[in-house]
Amino acid sequence: MNGKGKVGGGHPKDPYEKKKEYNRMRNKKLREAERQEVTTLRNQANELERLIKALAKRRRGNLLENGDDNDGNAMGMLPWKDVSSIFKALTASSETERQNLTHKVDTYYNVAAVMHQWVHSSHHLPVMPDTFKQTWRNSTLVAHESSRLLGFDWIAKQLYHNIDMMIQHCGLPASLAECSDVRIYPLENQNSYHMSKARQRIEDATLEEVVQVLRRQYFEGKADTMDSPDPNVRYFRNKSSYGSTSQNAYSQNILMRQFVEANRYVVFAHSITEDEKFPVDRIQRNWTNWYDD
């Protein structure tokens, strides 16, 4: 099933609602931090008990070797060197955890800075009257690697979220009858149009068999792959068949993603019209294909 989706929007929140939402999220993060701190302290206490038991057992063995079988001596106070080594180990563990958290915070700050700069540099993009046209948020990728991964994930989830709306928009029958439908929507005050193509057919195969065929066809062993953040995502460059037929050959960068559920398999292909890492051709088309099994 083919079509193009639009990310749903809404009215901007007033300052009071924004403040309420900010306070709610801040309190949620504080509660989560408190829970994590309690968990960390419990883990440290358990580790301390384990170390004390191990040292006490070792000390008992040393005393017995020296001919002292007095249980009071064996299980009494630990030497200060043993106690010091315990706290030294705990300090090293805490320092390692602190360094890991600092690294995560720095990474998040870098991603936020890159995305903030990108958003502000793109504010001049016009708002098109075409209600089906994708915005730059759904067709743009940056070069910064962490921000790029966020872009892949954002675009994929938005398209996945819109698939049911697009099925409804394309007018596919509720029954399992086969059909093929093409609809043209002229764009007002523009020398262009939006085209929606939908097709439904019945295959004599199980869902597992269909998944295996489509996975091999679209995701396995593809030499033209430029990026593949995980096995479910493939980003590649492909020559446009539309450009070949219109005597204006050009290539497009395409993002492909699969979603596997218990009773459903969804694959989509989506054109990326701006990419800092892999620049696109001058001519571009906005399009998206959904395959829903």
Q: What is the DSSP string of 214-230?
A: HHHHHTSS-TTEEE-SS
Map residue 140 onto helix, strand or coil. strand
Q: Do both 206 and 272 map to the same domain?
A: yes
237 is a domain residue: yes
**To the nearest whole number, what is the mean pLDDT of the chain?**
75
Residue-wise pLDDT for 77-86, tens only, equals 556 666 677 7
Domain interval for residue 34: 15-130
Map residue 249 onto helix, strand or coil. coil
Residue-wise pLDDT for 240-258, tens only, equals 776 666 667 788 889 999 9
Residue-wise pLDDT for 112-171, tens only, equals 777 666 665 554 444 433 444 455 456 788 888 888 888 888 888 888 888 888 777 777
Residue-wise pLDDT for 66-115, tens only, equals 554 444 444 455 566 666 777 777 788 888 888 888 888 878 777 777 76
Q: Do both 110 and 50 map to the same domain?
A: yes
What is the pLDDT confidence band of residue 13, given thresholds at 50, 70 and 90? low
60 is a domain residue: yes
224, 235 Cβ separation under 8 angstroms: no
Q: For residue 26, what pLDDT is reported?
A: 77
Amino acid of residue 196: S
Instruction: Count CB atoms within 10 A of the CB of residue 151.
Output: 22
Q: Do both 179 and 274 map to the same domain?
A: yes
Q: Do both 104 and 234 map to the same domain?
A: no
287 is a domain residue: yes
Residue 254: which of 292, 227, 220, 293 has the closest Cα?
Answer: 227
Q: Do both 274 and 155 map to the same domain?
A: yes
* Integer CA distances (angstroms), 147 to 62, 275, 276, in order: 57, 12, 12
Q: Do both 274 and 162 map to the same domain?
A: yes
7 is a domain residue: no
Q: Do both 178 and 253 map to the same domain?
A: yes
2 is a domain residue: no
Give me the mean pLDDT over the 224-232 stretch.
86
Number of domains in the chain: 2
Q: For residue 62, what pLDDT is reported?
A: 61
Residue 270: which of 188, 185, 111, 163 has the closest Cα?
Answer: 163
140 is a domain residue: no
Rounded Cα distance between 256 and 19, Å, is 38
1 is a domain residue: no
Q: Do both 118 and 199 map to the same domain?
A: no
Q: For residue 125, what pLDDT is reported?
A: 42
136 is a domain residue: no
Rounded Cα distance between 50 and 41, Å, is 14
| pLDDT exceeds cutoff 60 at 4 | no
Q: Do both 126 and 149 map to the same domain?
A: no
Domain final residue, candidates 130, 163, 190: 130
Q: Do both 279 and 232 map to the same domain?
A: yes
Domain final residue, candidates 77, 100, 130: 130
Q: Do both 185 and 114 map to the same domain?
A: no
- Kindly provide the b/e burial profile for residues 139-150, where b requires at least 16 CB atoms within 10 angstroms of the residue's own CB: bbbbebeebbbb
Q: For residue 75, what pLDDT is reported?
A: 47
CA gyration radius, the chain: 29
Give me the mean pLDDT over the 24-30 stretch.
80
Q: For residue 243, what pLDDT is reported?
A: 62
Q: For residue 121, what pLDDT is reported?
A: 59
Q: Do both 85 and 109 map to the same domain?
A: yes
